[in-house]
Structure 1
Amino acid sequence: MADEMSLKQIPLTIIVAATPKNGIGNNGGLPWPMLKKEMAYFARVTKRVPMPVGTGSAQSDAWKQTNLEGTRRNVVIMGRKTWESIPPKFRPLKDRTNIIISTQDRSKLGGVPDDVVVASNISSGLEALEQHVKDGKALPVGRAFVIGGSSVYEAAFKLPQTKSVLLTRIKKDFDCDTQFPEDVGAASSSWQQSSREGLERFVGEAVPAEGLTEGEGQQSISYEFHLYERP
């Protein structure tokens, strides 16, 4: 929660779905067919505002979807290509403050709503949002998520406040032309995998240990949810 700190220092969480070889994109879109349950997980997790510190530490408390409506809102940070890959009717992403990272001027992005922040990098985007909050143009921030693409993920990894990675591991290979920039699951990685209980506390909901499967037969796709944290 960003109560007593500048938004430039708010902890950042990367959220990503990737193949076993860390592929995340192909031809400007997802490499795999639409996974409705995975997309629903992404939406719930990025919308869910954490309970304020001191209001309950039990896991059951964390699962209460109060969302603190009208008082706080989570932030999703994305690059221009990720923004453009979202169908127009679904953008900006609902019930979240959207930040677009782009070197292009806002006027060249075409039809970006006034409540969407456009900035050249993550830090300046958070700084601009902080001013919007002070001016009453945006709700105070709960959590901040970095949602892609590859270059924005790479920039986030270089920031010390990037503390967590929520990884959906797609358990099937697909043709990809875009890679996730860091293999957080590698044995040599400095990132540490959390327990399933730690993941559930973080996301605020139960997570199936065996993962999920969508589709049938040879078209089925299985995936698992993981949390990695910077030590």
Structure 2
Amino acid sequence: MKTQLVGMIWAEAAEGVIGHEGGMPWHLPEDLTYFKKMTADCPVIMGRRTWESLPERFRPLPKRTNVVITSDAGRAASVRSEGALTASSLKEAISLAGQKDPKAHIAWIMGGGRLYAEAMEKDLTDLISITRIDLQTPGDTYAPELGAGWTGVGKVPDRGWNTAENGTRYRFETYRREGRP
């Protein structure tokens, strides 16, 4: 039986900004299209605040098992009533994602900042997909540092930028944990 990989996916502006006041401080449709493509048919794991930041019409994210981490029983019941699964820890969420979607090749952690930091600290991820956005913006939530042990795969970061329809420069980067499949 194939073991499911665990990845993290996020978009980040200059200085590692991934969020501001509960949302993304940019509008980049190209990144949303990329996110949808990368996570389609795969379970997604998120914290409760990330869940609540999604527009209601997109909850749960379609074509994906949505697993939301919360320790608040009342909010967990509300999340389940909207169609997502709940877990009380990141490890439980990863296990639940694997049980509910055993054929999916990867389960994606999609935020927020505390989950990314915990996954890095506990060495729970195999792959990271980052949309780098060439933009200075205020932020209150930041991406974790990759640190040693991560290797860039595919299009390497120094090959230049794409330009979005709105003029914003961006690029997609993928990193794999050394020694992992």
Same fold (TM over 0.5): yes
The reply to whether residue 191 of structure 1 matches residue 150 of structure 2 is yes
Superposed CA deviations along residues 136-172 of structure 1, whole A, max 9, x for unmatched, are: xx67433110100000111111343411110100111
Instruction: Select which of 31, 45, 48 maps to 2:38.
Output: 45
**Quick one: structure 1 residues 89 and 161, their matched pair in 2 at CA, closer, same or farther if it must change by over 3 Å?**
same
Which residue is 1:50 aligned to?
A: none
Q: Any idea what SS the aligned residue of 2:135 has?
A: coil
User: In the TM superposition, what is the alpha-carbon distance from 1:179 to its structure 2 partner?
Assistant: 0.7
- Root mean square deviation, CA, Å: 2.4
Measure the CA separation in 1 of the matches of 2:164 and 2:116: 26
Q: With the length of structure 2 as denominator, give the TM-score of the two structures.
A: 0.85
User: In the TM superposition, what is the alpha-carbon distance from 1:84 to its structure 2 partner?
Assistant: 0.3
One-letter amino acid of the counterpart of residue 157, structure 1: M
The reply to whether residue 108 of structure 1 matches residue 75 of structure 2 is yes
Superposed CA deviations along residues 80-134 of structure 1, whole A, max 9, x for unmatched, are: 11000000010100000001011211x3242534752211112112333455x4x
The total of aligned residue pairs comes to 176
One-letter amino acid of the counterpart of residue 191, structure 1: W
Taking every aligned residue pair, what percent have the same amino acid on both sides? 30
**Quick one: structure 1 residues 170 and 140, their matched pair in 2 at CA, closer, same or farther if it must change by over 3 Å?**
same
Structure 1's unaligned 5+ residue stretches are 48-72, 200-207
Q: With the length of structure 1 as denominator, give the TM-score of the two structures.
A: 0.68
User: In the TM superposition, what is the alpha-carbon distance from 1:195 to its structure 2 partner?
Assistant: 3.2
Measure the CA separation in 2 of the matches of 1:125 and 1:28: 22
Query: Contact (CA 8 Å) 1:75, 1:142: kept in 2 or not?
Result: no
Superposed CA deviations along residues 34-77 of structure 1, whole A, max 9, x for unmatched, are: 21121011101111xxxxxxxxxxxxxxxxxxxxxxxxx41101
Query: Contact (CA 8 Å) 1:14, 1:162: kept in 2 or not?
Result: yes
Which residue is 1:154 aligned to?
A: 117
The reply to whether residue 74 of structure 1 matches residue 37 of structure 2 is no
Which residue is 1:16 aligned to?
A: 10
Superposed CA deviations along residues 181-206 of structure 1, whole A, max 9, x for unmatched, are: 21x3xxx6432212328x9xxxxxxx
One-letter amino acid of the counterpart of residue 29, structure 2: K
Measure the CA separation in 1 of the matches of 2:97 and 2:152: 31
**Quick one: structure 1 residues 19 and 212, their matched pair in 2 at CA, closer, same or farther if it must change by over 3 Å?**
same
Query: Contact (CA 8 Å) 2:59, 2:82: kept in 1 or not?
Result: no
